[in-house]
Structure 1
Amino acid sequence: MAVSLTATERASRVKLMIFDVDGVLTDGGLMFTAEGDWMKSFNSMDGHGAKLLRDAGIDTAIITGRQSGIVVERAKNLRITHVYQGVEDKRVAFADLLKQTGTKPEECGYMGDDWPDLAVMLQVGFAAAPANSHPEVIARAHWVSEARGGHGAVREVCDTLLRAQNRYDDLLRAACGM
C-alpha cells in the first residue's frame, strides 16, 4: 500500500519549480493600450520569492499559454532561464523541460490556476495553486496559498518550499546581515 506524502514532504523534494503566468505571477487581468499592446502587473514580493528559490539552488521555469515580450523581460529580471510561451499543450513543454534539465517529474513543482495547467499539475511531485484558482485546480492541488494569484501567492509557495528544505532561516539571516 502506497503512503500518501504530505505537502511539506512533497515540497522538500522540489528541485525545479514551474510557474504559469496569468493568474499566478499576475492577477490574470490583461490590460490593453489603445494601440493594442498588452500590459501585465507583477508583484515584487512574488518576484523576490522566485529569486530566493534560485539562491537556494532550486531551478525555476515558466510555462504559459500566451506569448508576450513582457514575460521575457520579467523572466530575465528574475533569472528564470527556462521560459516556454505560446504553449497550447503544456505537457509538451513540460516533457522538453524535463529533458533539458534532467529533472524527474517527482522533483518538480508546478503552480497553476486553471484547466490548461492540470495536465502538468497531475504529473509533478508538488502541485500548488493560488487561492483564487478554478475549483477543479484547487481540488487537485497538494497545496493552496492563502493569497490570490499576482498578490503574493508565488511568494507564499516559495517560502513554503524554502521552509520545507530548511533553507528559509539561512536566507533570512543572510538578508539581515547576520
Structure 2
Amino acid sequence: MNDILQKAAQVKLMIFDVDGILTDGSLHFGPEGEALKTFNVLDGQGIRLLQDAGIATAIISARQSAIVSKRAADLAITHVRQGIHDKQSAFLSLIDELQLPAAACGFIGDDVIDLPVLSRVGFSVSVPNGHAEVRQRVDFVTTAGGGKGAVREICDLILRAQGKYDLALARYLS
C-alpha cells in the first residue's frame, strides 16, 4: 500500500475513461438513438474535490457522446477527448499541452483499449468490473465498481496520499 500511496502522491493530472469508469459500462439508448448514461454523484464530488485541491482532471473516451460533454461541463472538466480510439496519442498530446511528465499523471480505465495509457502513467487504476488483463497490469484496483463510487474512491485516495484530504473536507465541516 505504501507504493500505491507514493504513486498517488505524485498525481498532478487525473484522467478518466467514461464507459465502465464514470458509468457502470451499460449502454442505454433513447427513442431517437441518443446515448443515455447514469453517472454517480459521489464520483462527481470527488472530481470537484481534486480540482479544488489543484489537481487537473481530464477525460479520454473511445465513444463520442453529447451526454459526456454535458457531464464534463457540469464538472468543469475542460480537457475532454472523445471518439478517441488511439488513447495513447490523445494522452501524449494532452500531457504535451499541459507540459506534464507521464509520471505525474494518473489514469483509470477498464478495458484493453486503455492499456497503452495505463502502462505509461505514474499511477494506473482499474475497477473490479474491468477486464482481467487490465486488472492484473495496474497499480491499484478499486473496491467500488465503475459508476458505483470507484472514481470517488480514487479521488479520496489521491487527496489522502497528498495530505490534502482534511483540507478538502474542511469547508464542509465548519
Report TM bin, short chain. Answer: over 0.9
- Structure 1 partner of 2:7: 10
Structure 2 alignment gaps of length 5 or more:
none
CA deviations over 1:34-85 (Å, ceiling 9, x no partner): 2211100000000000000000000000000000111111001111110000
Q: TM-score, with normalisation over the residues of structure 2?
A: 0.97
Structure 1 alignment gaps of length 5 or more:
none
Residue 130 (structure 1) shift? 1.3
- Structure 2 partner of 1:144: 141
Select 1:39's aligned residue among 20, 36, 39: 36
Aligned letter for 1:40? K
Q: Within 5 Å, which residues of 2 pair with 1:76-155?
A: 76-155=73-152
Comparing 34-43 with 121-130, greater Cα deviation is found at 34-43
CA contact (8 A) 1:128 1:142 kept: yes
Question: CA RMSD, aligned part only?
Answer: 0.9
- Structure 2 partner of 1:159: 156
CA contact (8 A) 1:115 1:134 kept: yes
Q: TM-score, with normalisation over the residues of structure 1?
A: 0.95
Aligned letter for 2:36? M
CA deviations over 1:122-172 (Å, ceiling 9, x no partner): 000000111211111110110111000000000000000000000001111
Select 1:71's aligned residue among 68, 73, 77: 68
- Secondary structure of the 1:23 match is coil
Aligned letter for 1:127? S
Kindly report structure 1 stretches of 4+ aligned residues shifted beyond 3 Å: none
Q: Provide the rounded CA distance (Å) in 2 between the counterparts of 1:165 and 1:143.
A: 17
Aligned letter for 2:63? R
Q: Provide the rounded CA distance (Å) in 2 between the counterparts of 1:156 and 1:110.
A: 13
Select 2:171's aligned residue among 166, 169, 174: 174
CA contact (8 A) 1:131 1:153 kept: no
Aligned letter for 1:73? K
Q: Provide the rounded CA distance (Å) in 2 between the counterparts of 1:50 and 1:175.
A: 16
- Structure 1 partner of 2:51: 54
Q: Provide the rounded CA distance (Å) in 1 between the counterparts of 2:35 and 2:65.
A: 8
